[in-house]
Each structure stands twice: as C-alpha cells, then as structure tokens.
Chain A
Amino acid sequence: MAAELVERVGDEKLLYLVGVQTRGVPLAKRLAKLIGTTTGHEPPVGALDITLYRDDVGPWRAAHQQPLLRDTELPVAIDGRVICLVDDVLYTGRTVRAALDTLMDYGRPQAIRLAVLVDRGHRELPIAADFVGRAVPTSHSEDVQVRVTECDGEEGVWIAKEVGG
C-alpha cells in the first residue's frame, strides 16, 4: 500500500498522512515509516478527532451518551498538501464524511485521499477509498474489529458474529 500511495501521489514531498482517531493513528504512523524506508522521505503524520463533526451526535443521536473526545494534532499546516486520511475500517462512510468536514476547517489541502485497512462494504454515502488493504464482504450483523498493538495490545482483524440478538 505504501508503494501504491507514493506512486499515485507523485510528489512525495507533498504527502501528509492523517490518521482518524483512534486506530487510524497508529496505522498512519506505520505507513509513514514504510514510505520513509522506501523513498528516504518520511511524510508527516497527523491525528484527527472527528467526534464533534459526527452526524450521530446532537439531535440525531441514538445513544444517551456523548462520545469521548480525543486529540487532534496536525503538526504542520495542511494547506497545499496531499492529505491521505488513514482509518482502520471503512463501513458506512459517515466517519469519512465527518473527517472531510473536520479537515476543511483546518485549511485547504491540494487533495484528500483515503486509505483503509479493511473495506467491509455497506456504504451509506457516496464515498470510496483510494487505497484498500483488503476488501472483506460482510453482513450488517457482523462486527469487524481491527486491533493494533498500540491501542489493544494485540494485532489482527476480527470478524465477530452477533449471537442471539
């Protein structure tokens, strides 16, 4: 994926990886390292918290609980850069929509791309990933969990089926 990313972006000096909290952040850091070793130029990595831009907070939320806020850290300005958003699972596309709106409030990048580890289908918005680690067909009742050492102490992709109801 790292090689594909560099090839498609063209000028790797413009590339800027932004991980979506929580698990997109360690994934973005790993991608940046890989790109660094192949091209000799490690792109900067940012972290984006999209909570305040979600469409299920406020009047539309179903749960009586506000999601916890996490850090947003963009170490360099995003203006004029080619941003690659990094997330673990692409599902409805609503997180990506929120991430796009969040990013736009920080500046005007030249382009925004999307890289995900797992694309599990079932999009509810017209959003597609540019780089996909693996497309995994799933059903709505299944739960796809990506675990990374940095957050979970273990590593892998789990597909869990809901039992009973």
Chain B
Amino acid sequence: MSVKPASRLRGKDLVGIDPLTAGEIQLILDTAEQMREIAERPIKKVPALRGKTVVNLFMEASTRTRFSFEVAEKRLSADSLNFAASASSVSKGETLLDTALNLEAMQPDFIVLRHQYAGAPHQLARILKSSVVNAGDGAHEHPTQALLDALTIRLKRGTLEGQVVTIVGDLQHSRVVRSNVLLLSRMGAEVRVAGPPSLIPPGMEAMGCRVFHHVEEAIAGADVVMMLRIQLERQGRMNFPTVREYYDFFALTPERLKLARKDCLVMHPGPMNRGVEIDSRVADGPHSVILEQVTNGVAVRMAVLYLLAGGHGEPASD
C-alpha cells in the first residue's frame, strides 16, 4: 500500500525531514518526478517562479548542493543571489541573524541556508518571513539530499516500501544519514547502518534503523547500498587508525557488493573518495546510480521551491 500524497506542505519552510509527514514526502517526490522532464526539453525553463527571489546563503563550502539549487531556481525562472561567506560581512564579524535580517530587508522569497551549526535554519525560519530551505546544517539534517536519494531509489525500484537500504560510513558526523534514516523508515523501507563503532553515535536505533558493526552483515541481501564520505579533512581527528584500514574493513569493494542483491543500487552523496570508502570499480560499475542522484537533485529542489511557493495559509477549498 503506497502512501497517499498530501495536498500541500504545511510549513513555510523545509528545515528537515523530521517535521514532514509521509504524505508530504510523497507529494515532494511525486512533484519532483514530473520536474525531471523539464531538463529534457529544448527550452529548459518554466515560468512558475517568475519574480521570486532566492538567496543562496552558503556559510560552509559546497559545490554540488549550491549548483544544484541554483540550476533548480533558474529552471523555474526565479532570480538567484549567491552569497559566499568568505567574501561577505561574515568575515567582518556579522552574526548569522544580522546577515539574514539584512538580506530579508531586500524582500527575498526564499533563503537556502547551508550552515556549520545544527539548528541554524530552524532559528532563521522562526524569525524570517521568507521560506527557509535547509541545505545542510552541521551534523543534523540535509533534507533535500535524502529526498533526492529517495527519488533515485523510487525511480529504479518503483517504491520505497520494503526496500532494504544499507548506509555505511561515518554515522557520527553525517547529516545525510540522519535525514535518510528518518525519511526511509517513515516511507516503510528497512534501514540498516554500519560503520566503525567509534563513529556510531548513541541512539541511532531510535531513529528507525538497525545498527551493524560488520559491513558484510549489513550489506547481505540489500537492495541499496549507500556509502558515506569519509571526511579526510578531519584526518588525525578521525576515530579510526588509518585510511588504509578503513578501506580494508568498510569500503564498498566488488567482493562486498556480491553479498547484496544481484540488481543492487550503489549510491554516494558525493564528493567521493575513491579507494577510501568506495572502490573505483564499484563507483563506475553497472550498479552505480551516483550521477543519477545528481540529476534527481535538481528535480527535487525544483519541487521543494515550487511547493513552498504555494504559501502556507489555509488549504484551498476545492
């Protein structure tokens, strides 16, 4: 039994997967599936968000997510403004709140925020009239990433329900894993997570997943294997001995992939460290849908912006 899509999103913001109902998730995914077609047209642009202004407020490095949002905004005819923390008053000591209030004084409709602190988008959402979209907050949530992962699985498998999804890597510092576990379990998938014990935060099970310490057990029979990035810039502060050892115990190799279902999907949110968490033969192999994830990311962000632009008052009577 598939989930009936909601008729609209209730909130003015998208701060995380946690506040969304299954019906709202279904609505975003259904809308995103239709948005995909726009990229195939000779003129890759629709007028739906004409006259809307989106500020992409990225306080932390990002290429893929920022580009993806920008492409989505342009395809919907919105005007995008890009904000890079290094070239702004932030480097002169302005607080996030002051930056946001100053930007809001220029009447944008959306603020897309990437921030190193968990909860930053929630704080802005409470204070600003604009719609706030979380593009990743600290180690907390990255809702559009989870939505694009879900769309990729759904397009390949037809449903999320009953899918066995294994997520492997640094569960402690990953916002991708949190949003994914929340979303997938809410939509009826069976979620397994695995990683070095030192990188598994307490309370993982409470989010709706099973925790494994041996990656082989977690991968056995899986429909989807999602590898997380090992943050090499944290090298030395990471809670495992060496990158080489990490590869030996946790990387997705062709041998380990054989344990999963024959038509298993291999996913990675990027950027990949080849030869660390994922073997190149797997990353470029026939199971990999890593580049399709990127394509679907644009469609998901278009859907989120389009649906949030619908406003958040009383539902229409019809």
Residues of A within 8 A of B (CB): 49, 51-53, 57-59, 61-66, 68-72, 101, 105-107
Residue interface bits B201-230, CB-to-A below 8 A is 1, else 0: 000000000000000000000000000000
Say how far B70's CB is from chain A's closest CB, in angstroms.
18
Interface check B309, CB cutoff 8 A: yes
Q: B42: which of A61, A63, A107 is its contact (CB, 8 Å)?
A: A107
Q: In the complex, are the beta carbons of B309 and A64 less than 8 A apart?
A: no
**Does A106 lie within 8 Å of B42, measured CB to CB?**
yes
Q: Known contacts A58-B309, A64-B311, A65-B7; is A72 also within 8 Å of B37 by CB? A: yes
B residues within 8 A CB of A53? Answer: 46-48
Say whether B316 contacts A63, CB under 8 Å.
yes
A57, A71, A106: which contacts B48 (Cβ < 8 A)?
A57
Say if the beta carbon of B312 comes within 8 Å of chain A: yes
- Is residue B50 within 8 Å, beta carbon to beta carbon, of the partner chain? yes
Cβ of B310 to closest chain A Cβ, rounded Å: 4
1/0 contact string of B288-318 vs chain A (CB within 8 Å): 0000000000000000001101111111111
Residue pair B34, A70 in contact (C-beta under 8 Å): yes
- Given A52-B48, A105-B42, are A66 and B312 also a contact pair (CB < 8 Å)? no
Q: List 19 A-B contacts (CB under 8 A).
A: A52-B38, A52-B48, A52-B306, A53-B46, A57-B48, A57-B310, A58-B48, A62-B316, A63-B316, A64-B313, A64-B315, A65-B7, A65-B311, A66-B8, A66-B310, A69-B34, A105-B42, A106-B42, A106-B43
Report A-chain residues with C-beta under 8 Å of the C-beta of B49. Answer: 58
Report A-chain residues with C-beta under 8 Å of the C-beta of B312. Answer: 64
Bound-state CA distance A34–B289 (Å) is 44
Closest to A79 in B: B42
Given the known interface contacts A58-B49, A64-B315, the answer about A105 and B43 at a Cβ–Cβ threshold of 8 Å is yes
Name which residue of chain A comes closest to B33, CB basis.
Answer: A69
Q: What's the Cα separation between A71 and B37 when bound, in Å?
A: 8
How far apart sit A53 and B41, CA to CA, in the bound complex (Å)?
15
Interface of A is mostly: loop
- Expressed in whole angstroms, the Cα–Cα distance for A52 and B44 within the complex equals 12
A-B interface, 5 closest residue pairs, ranked by CB to CB distance from nearest = A63-B316, A66-B310, A69-B34, A52-B46, A64-B313
Q: Give the size range of B's interface with the partner.
A: 20 to 34
Q: How far is the CA of A37 from the CA of B315 in the complex (A)?
A: 46
Q: Report the minimum CB–CB distance from B44 to chain A (whole Å).
A: 9
Interface centre among B310, B312, B317 (most CB of A within 10 A): B310
Q: How far is the CB of B230 from chain A (nearest CB, A)?
A: 38
A-side contacts of B318, CB under 8 Å: 63
Provide the bound-state CA to CA distance between A95 and B43, in Å.
20
The answer to the question of B287 belonging to the interface, with a C-beta cut-off of 8 Å to chain A, is no
CB distance from B33 to the nearest CB of A (A): 8
Q: What separation, in Å, do the CA atoms of A68 and B50 have in the docked complex?
A: 18
Question: Shortest beta-carbon distance, A150 to chain B, in Å?
Answer: 19
- Cα separation A101 to B47 with both chains bound (whole Å): 10
Q: Can you name the residue of chain B whose Cβ is closest to the Cβ of A53?
A: B47
**B residues less than 8 Å from A105 (CB atoms):** 41-43, 45-46
Q: Distance (Å) between the CB of A46 and the closest chain B CB? A: 13
Within the complex, the shortest CB–CB distance from B90 to chain A, in Å, comes to 31
Q: CB within 8 Å of A: which of B1-38?
A: 5, 7-8, 30-31, 34-35, 37-38
Q: Chain A nearest CB: distance from B192 CB in Å?
A: 33
Bound: A66/B5 CA distance, A:
13
**Residues of B with C-beta under 8 A to A65:** 7-8, 310-311, 315-316
The docked-state distance in angstroms from the alpha carbon of A105 to that of B31 is: 20
Known: A68-B31, A105-B41. A58 touches B315 (CB 8 A): no
